[in-house]
A and B are shown apart, each in its own frame.
Chain A
């Protein structure tokens, strides 16, 4: 790999450790941020309690449009979580070096969003107390059973992939955080699992990370392919598509990539880590986003041009609704503002600088959220058997305040998980950064007093 540009040469281990642990000690702006997230969550919890008491009738979902904002948010969460696999596993295994400072950020996003994806599904249940029925009475033939299986598996592997590279950092934390609360020091001690930085330990941890990195690739592909199968395995207009699996997977990479760019910006400025997450990294992520979005664009062409060319009688009202009907504004905003314009902009070097990248990534992420909405709801409005003899409200859908509150709670919850992790543990692997700076294991052990 070529030498990383823009990077100040020769950071000492001392600088690295103090740079990366300082954000764990200073709490400037931390309390208002946590209060803000907690307020959103409390609002959502209140809404959910009312939903539990009164049932799903408080949502706008009815007999025909029975999947609404919750399910579209669920796909969005799963999609965002998928980036952990792409960055730390795929790019890591290929041996791409520039991902070192952002791999853990991607993994944090994966853990936070995958955890909450599982919860969002439960919010959509009218009788969450019967969730265990799925394990006792579930059919192996059902994609829902597959989905629950892979979500749980992915969460487990993501947590391990977050935890394992953390272990060699623990001695640094033990040393640097002596002025911090007792429980934190105790936690760092437990999570070090007796790490002293011996050669055998390095060999083992690298091997375990490699095994999990290989394992998470098929599992991550499975999680989003199976999520797409929840739709594609049904004979419904707009979902009955053979490319739904790859269509979702590529869409997920775009979503997660945007989330990582946003997190990179926030962490590099707020944690004062601009020397670690540099313009060079934003440039690389921008290029990666262009590639991912071009692939996604290609799948979009297939997904809409092929049925649009044939205009099968049953699909016609659905496609017209997207192209020029009720959903046209949202559809074209998402497709053009959330995909085509970002692709074009990111082709320019100036647009791959941190601030423009951030703005583009926010547009992509909002577009990605509403793209899931557009995949879920319009199809349900066009069943093969005509909707008849039902109240007028059954024909339309727009989420109620309850649905928005609960969805916002889920988003705040996932961000809260990322925030807490970022406040307890360094957001970059100290040992890997040190390795890249040419610092040897012996020097590190000397620093932590483990030799």
Chain B
């Protein structure tokens, strides 16, 4: 192959790679129209925006920086400043909510990490940088609900009872509501079941046998309504001892290179000290020998 051909071939490959790269880098959000027009179940209030800000600073600012400051991370795709008018004009309340709910590429999904309310609060906070965004007073929407959870240690079952408060203030059984069960993990929550309540208001799951717990086998289970728009953020946390105990060994307890000074590897101690002592013994021997020079004057 002559050099010209190689050059053309190389150029061709580079062009194709560039093309592929630019497609992958410019993957677009695909937001359905009904989502775009979706409105929050309640109006934005200053209080909710305040909550949203604290959630945002906790979860979002590490990449997006502070809205309007332009201090986002230089990643690919660019996270972008969410406070610019460009972003605000192109993203409705519904789109912002959809994006943080679903995620895309390196932008994570917050579906299970944040409650519906928190997600809306963050949305309100982000949209509050839009000059046309309307902030109103408080307005309650959801009905008052209650969850009670009982456990069956033998069968490793969790049973949730759902109730709601009717107009007269009496607690009634809540039928046909989706109850979601999660195990609390280090990052976010792990879903272990979604069950509709029966006619008596009960939803029951069997605890999976492959869940890792702490050293005594304890795990925290969070039970809440799936449809928080309708039933609110009622949630119950229950600690069960049915998980598999996991023993974490602290590597600092053994002799390692990365251990503290009292747990240095034996071989290293022997090597270091024998070399140091050996070399310095020779040095001191030489120094001592210098004093012998005088004695040898007569020989």
Contact = CB atoms under 8 A, between A and B. Distances in A.
Given A140-B264, A160-B286, A195 B293 contact: yes
Given A198-B298, A201-B296, A215 B282 contact: yes
20 contacts: A137-B261, A138-B261, A140-B268, A140-B269, A141-B264, A149-B272, A156-B283, A157-B283, A164-B290, A167-B290, A194-B293, A194-B297, A198-B296, A201-B296, A201-B299, A208-B286, A211-B286, A215-B283, A386-B73, A386-B74
B30 interface: no
A96 interface: no
Given A160-B283, A208-B286, A219-B279, 5 more contacts: A139-B261, A153-B279, A204-B292, A208-B289, A215-B282
Interface residues of A, number: 31
Interface stretch (B45-53, B111-119, B163-171, B252-260): B252-260
Interface string A78-115: 00000000000000000000000000000000000000
Given A198-B299, A201-B296, A204-B293, A140 B261 contact: yes
**B: contact size bracket:** 20 to 34
A394 to B, nearest CB: 14
Contact of B272 (A146, A194, A196, A198): A146
Contacts of A139: 260-261, 264
A26 interface: no
Nearest to A212: B286
Contacts of B257: 141
A204 B276 contact: no
A193 B290 contact: yes
A139 B276 CA distance: 15
Contact of A204 (B261, B272, B283, B289): B289
A205 B293 contact: yes
Given A149-B276, A201-B293, A141 B258 contact: yes
A205 to B, nearest CB: 7
A389 interface: yes
Nearest to B269: A140
Nearest to B261: A139
Contact of A199 (B265, B293, B299): B299
A9 interface: no
A200 interface: yes
Most chain B CB within a 10 A radius of its CB, from A139, A141, A205, A386: A141
Interface of A: 137-141, 146, 149, 153, 156-157, 160, 164, 167, 193-196, 198-201, 204-205, 208, 211-212, 215, 219, 386, 388-389
A193 B291 contact: yes
Interface of B: 71, 73-74, 257-261, 264-265, 268-269, 272, 276, 279-280, 282-283, 286-287, 289-294, 296-299
A387 to B, nearest CB: 10
Contacts of B282: 211-212, 215
A264 B272 CA distance: 38
Nearest to B73: A388
A141 B71 contact: no
In the A-B complex, the 3 residue pairs with the smallest Cβ-Cβ separation, listed nearest first, are A194-B294, A200-B299, A200-B296
Nearest to A140: B264
Contacts of A149: 272, 276
Contacts of B292: 204
A389 B73 CA distance: 9
A288 to B, nearest CB: 27
Nearest to B278: A215
A94 B279 CA distance: 22
Contact of A153 (B259, B280, B290, B291): B280
A170 to B, nearest CB: 10
A388 to B, nearest CB: 6
A106 B292 CA distance: 27
Contacts of B290: 164, 167, 193, 208
A208 B291 CA distance: 12
Contacts of A208: 286, 289-290
Nearest to A156: B283
Contacts of A153: 276, 279-280, 283
A157 B299 CA distance: 28
Contacts of B294: 193-194
Contacts of B293: 167, 193-195, 201, 204-205
A215 B285 CA distance: 12
Contacts of A201: 293, 296-297, 299
Nearest to B63: A388
A215 B269 CA distance: 21
Contacts of B272: 140, 146, 149
A193 B73 CA distance: 70
A211 B283 CA distance: 9
Most chain A CB within a 10 A radius of its CB, from B292, B294, B296: B296
A171 to B, nearest CB: 11
A164 B283 CA distance: 12
Contacts of B258: 141
A204 B279 contact: no
A205 B269 CA distance: 34
Given A149-B276, A160-B286, A194-B293, A141 B268 contact: yes
A260 B276 CA distance: 30
B296 A204 contact: yes
A61 B49 CA distance: 41
